[in-house]
Structure 1
């Protein structure tokens, strides 16, 4: 709902409060004001000009040379391109130095050799949307009435020196779909009076009942129908102030009669319709349900087929309007109309909604009927429109109205106790304060002890129960005035658990390492359900599987990731690295729900690093994936608790697979897929890992401990150990670290030799050992002692000897 600030002042005294302040107060009372638009923002220097002369531009077919009086001494010459500019017109002129919307500044100019001192403006150039401009001015300049004063502010004359509040109404507040409804709301907020429009009665020589009769057959759909007749009207443009208010509310002006019906719709919230009496076709209005297959041509020149669900206004024979939605073309008010048949009715909202939805016709009228209009304004709106037609269309209002009245709607009477209001709102309001609030709303009240009985006006159809009354008290008392209390018990702010934080660390690390996250099915086939499972159990079968390929719950994520790799490789994605964090499902017997455990798995194939310019290519291997895991464990603070042990795992390469142990317990595996499986799936060398994420993230870690950077030099010793081929570097590294004591800080493998100069069954593994003490400089004697312990330990525990 668009509300003109200037128009609103006719009903409520707004002195001392700006449009922005009013918007804030309305919002705080429970109706959101979505914005306040200043219609003349950025516009200045536009006045009414009088075209004294108009002639063809000597050098341009589509330009006119005009001599215009702008009320500042001598007339000025203005070049105009509008096709409808003529001598004698009163027009909007942007003077030299004027500013138009978009910060467009008017300067002296020369157009095709002729001087132009200003600009004759169209309404679009003054910031009015094209859809809101009357059709006769849609393609050219706007022409003011002859009584407009030269030099007068054209923007004020167009009623654009105004601000418009856009109300975001909820469906229950249909009472504010009218200026008077908004006035009641604003008056209650400000504690001021509402001034209703005065309606003048006009003497008439004839009665409306001599011209028309009304019969309603569909009483449930139309309990009240009011008709008035206005003779001798003269169709012309409506007054400028009315056109301006309609455009500010988003309605296009047409002519004085149609504009008056739209104006009263905005003012009272009561939709009206004006028929051309002479085109109506009879002296009787019959309101009934349409017949199936019946056709009406509406005002938009579209023929519409009706059904018995639709309510129509007829002349006793054919439909002349789709009730509450749109009138018919056969009875439209036109330029030669002299007698107007005015309709004001109360239609059932559901019936109007059905017709509006079926025919895709959403109008200002249908929106109001759907949400509910005030039945007590039906007659008043008709009288107001008739009065305006007498004043601005020269009409003669015939005496009386013709009605079909079956309406039985009474004001709601609701009681509520002061104790309940105070208990619900948590306030200490007095009975006087509550009575004052209802008085500001203009609700009639009676009080018995501390029980308040309220008679709710029919304009507030949204108030039906005592909770509605409490809401009215709360919003007008002020939501920001309601007392605030903290919970009695201590509250816990929302946060991530440690497990959730660590899971995010895992995701970020793996993605930072270059892996893409995959999300695969938890359902798989019987054949794949048990493959690569960290814990062997009977796969869980679905009772009603969608297919055999999705008939079991998975025990491992790796088979699904291999399918992802296969899919991408088949589409020429040669290098793929994916990971997934998801659940596997372990059976607990036939009568128990399965245990759901979270795992993390990854699958990588192709090139890990490519630098074409430098000719570098690094294919994925076991140590690339192992390095990613080692980095992840270091990020989680588990690097000292992890051990990789050579292992044989079904479906994995027998020489390139290891099991991962966390504090001595098996947590997963890492390695290359068995060559036979790679061949079956058309995969290149593929490396995978799968870990129990639950075990890893729930593992206790030592508190973070910082060590200062060593200030004293370190000493490095390299050793090459000859051992049996079955011995692993990991076993030797563990022995070396245990024997090295506190001085040994780092142990790294840097060489492996199994060549022809090595005796059969043996290999040489070279380690680099770094010794230092953070408190002092080591001597050769200190290092030699620790180093001798290392050599003795590897000889005794691993049978290793120094390579000569």
Structure 2
């Protein structure tokens, strides 16, 4: 909400407060002032001038030679504006004047003729282009005839105004009007408020109901509709003061009829609409829901396809306005308008929100209707607009308004106890001070001891319960006056849950390993919804969860895997010359087993990653190697070792993965994700090279994780290492052999590590050589060579027997 201080002063006296001081007071009472903007920079020596003559420049076809009376002297000024003419009163910058942008006006010669000053346009005086009326955008601004020659231009054009930008919370719809802000300022400063005069002279000879009939189909959606008829109008520019206020509020002046409806909208917070009465096809206004397939061209010249559920205003048959949002072009006020039907109505906020969402059209009117307007001001705003049309457009207001009125204007009653307020605020506000605060707010009330029965005015729709009144008392009393106290009673230090701590631990490890954390969309498209689903999820046969009203087809489904999003991110970044990428994401997928969703889907926590290009193997040496299966496997092995969770990898063949470079991850013998290279054809489709991914079920990790730190005493006795290489069939998994070695060598074998896999010369076809390093250690003594040899031989015999292997010589 933009608040012009000059406009505000018509309702409330702010004294000698500067804009900055007033903004601070408003902010301290709960409405934040985002900024202060001055209409124009201060200009000096800009006065009202009268053009006594205007002739063509002798040496230039597009320039005019003007003689301008400035009160003290007559200046010869050359002006290029196409609309300058004799007899006009204009804004003149005299020689020596300084205009916004530090433009200094000097005596100059133009095409050999002297010019002593400048006849100014609104833009040259500091107005933003978007607020300047279209008909004078390329010319000067002509001042009204009653402007005093030689007088200061600043007050005439509101150049000395300051604009406060209020950042309103959704509940403070009352401050979406100048009167609402005036009530707020009056309460802050404890000063009287002056409300506009709404008295009008109606033409008694003809009644409005002889011109129009009003019918409302659903009075719950439209509990009040008032139609005022104003005849014999003269469409012309608005009075200067009104144009100034509208421009200060960010609205471009159009003509006096439209400007008056906009002015009252900003003044009362009540949207109005003026229909050209002669363009209505009948003497009837009918409010109903739109029929499927109906069309309406709105004032922005866009044809809207209407649907059932959108409330429309019709001329008895065809739509002429979207209720509460925007009028139609067919009944727009024009220069030829002689009579208007002025609409003042109350529309259900939910209905207006529905129309805005369906059409994507939001306006100053819909913004107010969506939040809820003051029921008591609806008819009064119509009366105020009629009064202004009578005064500034010469209109005759027909007697009576044609109304459908089912509107509830009752005021809410809220009880508050001053003792309870003091208890909650930690204050000692007396009942007399409470009375003072309620009077400042202009709330009527009855007092019985410490209990106040407050009658909340309809303008404050946000106050319905005791806590709302508590807030009102606190903010008017002054948040700065609330005492600072320490909490009493028992307290507990805050801490992360075990799951939150684990997630941070995992994130820290992955970042330390060189991967970048990403966050991809939880929504995906039909193509990706079935891609890269991990085996344990696929076994459940999940059903895709689709949105009822997706923003686009690309965001129609809740994801069942995070990998499609990561892979697309890789492709996007590689296309922008980022060849070496390593991403991970810790997020959720959404699993449902219902064809028709009747309950919330399960949210499953997953850790996924995608890598392509080169990998920084030794950060201290800045050496890079191509990413391969073992790089990604090593990252995950490091993670599980960091978490002290045993993990196994079992070769597998999965859809969309390279058939020979893929494995499932097992934790406690349960499948907990997969790892591998995506199929080269899929990678090519995303313009990627070799790309490796992993997907870990974090719920299995959480179940296996022990947050308690473990401790093992450092061995006192030395270890012995023995290496051994087996010749095995090439289809035997190295991990299976490792498990047999660990089981057979226990308890002396403390660690088994694979350090070499070889196929080639000296190894028979169909065979492979796998080398293992075995570490022997006893906690209570130094092992002898005989003890190690006996255990070593037992391992050799067992592996040879179970896998038809032999030791490589």
TM-score, with structure 2 as normaliser = 0.65
Q: Distance in 1 between matches of 2:53 and 2:758?
A: 96
Are the counterparts in 1 of residues 637 and 647 from structure 2 also a CA contact under 8 Å? no
SS in 1 for 2:205: coil
After superposition, where does 1:759-774 map in structure 2 within 5 Å? Answer: none
Q: Distance in 2 between matches of 1:466 and 1:116?
A: 69
Q: Check if 1:184 corresponds to 2:183.
A: yes
Are the counterparts in 2 of residues 42 and 102 from structure 1 also a CA contact under 8 Å? no
Q: 1:593 aligns with which of 693, 703, 707?
A: 703
Query: 1:311 is matched with which residue?
Result: 311
Query: 1:447 is matched with which residue?
Result: 447
Residues 206/352 of structure 1: CA separation in 2 closer, same or farther (3 Å cut):
farther
Residues 130/501 of structure 1: CA separation in 2 closer, same or farther (3 Å cut):
closer
SS in 2 for 1:370: helix
Q: Check if 1:152 corresponds to 2:151.
A: yes
After superposition, where does 1:142-291 map in structure 2 within 5 Å? Answer: 142-209=141-208, 210-291=210-291
Q: Distance in 2 between matches of 1:314 and 1:542?
A: 70
Query: 1:474 is matched with which residue?
Result: 474
TM-fit CA distance, 1:138: 1.6
TM-fit CA distance, 1:523: 7.3
User: Which deviates more, 345-354 or 201-210?
Assistant: 201-210
CA distances 1:113-172 after superposition (whole Å, capped 9, x unpaired):
333222222212222222212121122221222332222222221122111111101111
Query: 2:746 is matched with which residue?
Result: none
TM-fit CA distance, 1:326: 1.5
TM-fit CA distance, 1:52: 2.7
Q: Distance in 2 between matches of 1:596 and 1:40?
A: 67
Q: Distance in 1 between matches of 2:698 and 2:11?
A: 71
Q: Distance in 2 between matches of 1:550 and 1:54?
A: 90
Residues 158/528 of structure 1: CA separation in 2 closer, same or farther (3 Å cut):
closer
Query: 1:105 is matched with which residue?
Result: 104
Query: 1:403 is matched with which residue?
Result: 403
SS in 2 for 1:462: coil
CA distances 1:428-479 after superposition (whole Å, capped 9, x unpaired):
2222222221221111111233222111111111111111111111111111
TM-fit CA distance, 1:201: 2.9
Q: Distance in 2 between matches of 1:587 and 1:301?
A: 58
Q: What are the ranges of 5 or more consecutive residues in structure 2 without an aligned counterpart?
A: 497-501, 515-579, 586-605, 610-628, 669-673, 685-694, 709-717, 726-733, 735-748, 761-809
User: Which deviates more, 395-404 or 147-156?
Assistant: 147-156
Residues 52/645 of structure 1: CA separation in 2 closer, same or farther (3 Å cut):
farther
Query: 2:741 is matched with which residue?
Result: none
Query: 1:694 is matched with which residue?
Result: none
Q: Distance in 2 between matches of 1:253 and 1:648?
A: 90
Query: 2:621 is matched with which residue?
Result: none
Residues 552/258 of structure 1: CA separation in 2 closer, same or farther (3 Å cut):
same
SS in 1 for 2:463: coil
Query: 1:12 is matched with which residue?
Result: 12
Q: Distance in 1 between matches of 2:214 and 2:160?
A: 44
Q: Distance in 2 between matches of 1:115 and 1:201?
A: 53
Q: Distance in 2 between matches of 1:343 and 1:190?
A: 35
SS in 2 for 1:124: coil
TM-fit CA distance, 1:352: 1.7
Residues 583/147 of structure 1: CA separation in 2 closer, same or farther (3 Å cut):
same
Are the counterparts in 1 of residues 261 and 273 from structure 2 also a CA contact under 8 Å? yes
Residues 540/329 of structure 1: CA separation in 2 closer, same or farther (3 Å cut):
same
Residues 38/522 of structure 1: CA separation in 2 closer, same or farther (3 Å cut):
closer
Are the counterparts in 2 of residues 554 and 585 from structure 1 also a CA contact under 8 Å? no
Query: 1:384 is matched with which residue?
Result: 384
TM-fit CA distance, 1:540: 7.2
RMSD of equivalent CA atoms: 4.9
Q: Distance in 1 between matches of 2:32 and 2:272?
A: 28
Q: Distance in 1 between matches of 2:306 and 2:70?
A: 55
Q: Report the structure number with the largest CA radius of gyration.
A: 1
Q: Distance in 2 between matches of 1:646 and 1:115?
A: 104
Q: How many residues align?
A: 608
Q: Check if 1:66 corresponds to 2:66.
A: yes
CA distances 1:234-285 after superposition (whole Å, capped 9, x unpaired):
1111110000000000111111111111111111111111122222232222
Query: 1:631 is matched with which residue?
Result: none
TM-fit CA distance, 1:667: 13
Q: Distance in 1 between matches of 2:3 and 2:11?
A: 12
Are the counterparts in 2 of residues 523 and 552 from structure 1 also a CA contact under 8 Å? no
Q: Distance in 1 between matches of 2:225 and 2:241?
A: 30
Residues 587/147 of structure 1: CA separation in 2 closer, same or farther (3 Å cut):
closer
After superposition, where does 1:381-780 map in structure 2 within 5 Å? Answer: 381-488=381-488, 537=646, 539=648, 549=662, 551-552=664-665, 593-595=703-705
SS in 2 for 1:204: strand
Q: Distance in 1 between matches of 2:724 and 2:582?
A: 25
SS in 1 for 2:124: helix
Residues 119/547 of structure 1: CA separation in 2 closer, same or farther (3 Å cut):
same
SS in 2 for 1:207: strand
Are the counterparts in 2 of residues 586 and 596 from structure 1 also a CA contact under 8 Å? no
TM-fit CA distance, 1:316: 1.2
Q: Distance in 2 between matches of 1:158 and 1:93?
A: 13
Q: Distance in 1 between matches of 2:152 and 2:303?
A: 45
Are the counterparts in 2 of residues 214 and 402 from structure 1 also a CA contact under 8 Å? yes
Residues 587/458 of structure 1: CA separation in 2 closer, same or farther (3 Å cut):
closer
TM-fit CA distance, 1:551: 2.2
User: Which deviates more, 85-94 or 51-60?
Assistant: 51-60
Query: 1:800 is matched with which residue?
Result: none
SS in 1 for 2:203: coil
Q: Distance in 1 between matches of 2:753 and 2:648?
A: 23
CA distances 1:495-525 after superposition (whole Å, capped 9, x unpaired):
9xxx9999999999999xxx99975997798
Q: Distance in 1 between matches of 2:722 and 2:495?
A: 44
CA distances 1:404-445 after superposition (whole Å, capped 9, x unpaired):
111134211111222321222111222222222122111111
User: Which deviates more, 173-182 or 269-278?
Assistant: 269-278
Q: Distance in 2 between matches of 1:270 and 1:538?
A: 67
SS in 2 for 1:230: strand
TM-fit CA distance, 1:528: 5.2
Query: 1:118 is matched with which residue?
Result: 117
TM-fit CA distance, 1:65: 2.8
Q: Distance in 1 between matches of 2:652 and 2:427?
A: 58
Q: Distance in 2 between matches of 1:323 and 1:119?
A: 47
Are the counterparts in 1 of residues 633 and 675 from structure 2 also a CA contact under 8 Å? no
Q: Distance in 2 between matches of 1:353 and 1:452?
A: 36
After superposition, where does 1:47-62 map in structure 2 within 5 Å? Answer: 47-62=47-62
SS in 1 for 2:227: strand
TM-fit CA distance, 1:221: 1.3
SS in 2 for 1:193: coil
SS in 2 for 1:225: strand
CA distances 1:320-375 after superposition (whole Å, capped 9, x unpaired):
22211112222222212222221111111121222223223211111111110011
SS in 2 for 1:116: strand
Are the counterparts in 1 of residues 375 and 408 from structure 2 also a CA contact under 8 Å? no
SS in 2 for 1:551: strand
CA distances 1:167-216 after superposition (whole Å, capped 9, x unpaired):
10111100011111111111111112211112233152423332222221
Query: 1:294 is matched with which residue?
Result: 294
Are the counterparts in 1 of residues 93 and 105 from structure 2 also a CA contact under 8 Å? yes
SS in 2 for 1:469: helix
TM-fit CA distance, 1:107: 2.3
SS in 2 for 1:54: strand
User: Which deviates more, 223-232 or 262-271?
Assistant: 223-232
Q: Distance in 2 between matches of 1:195 and 1:448?
A: 31
Residues 36/545 of structure 1: CA separation in 2 closer, same or farther (3 Å cut):
farther
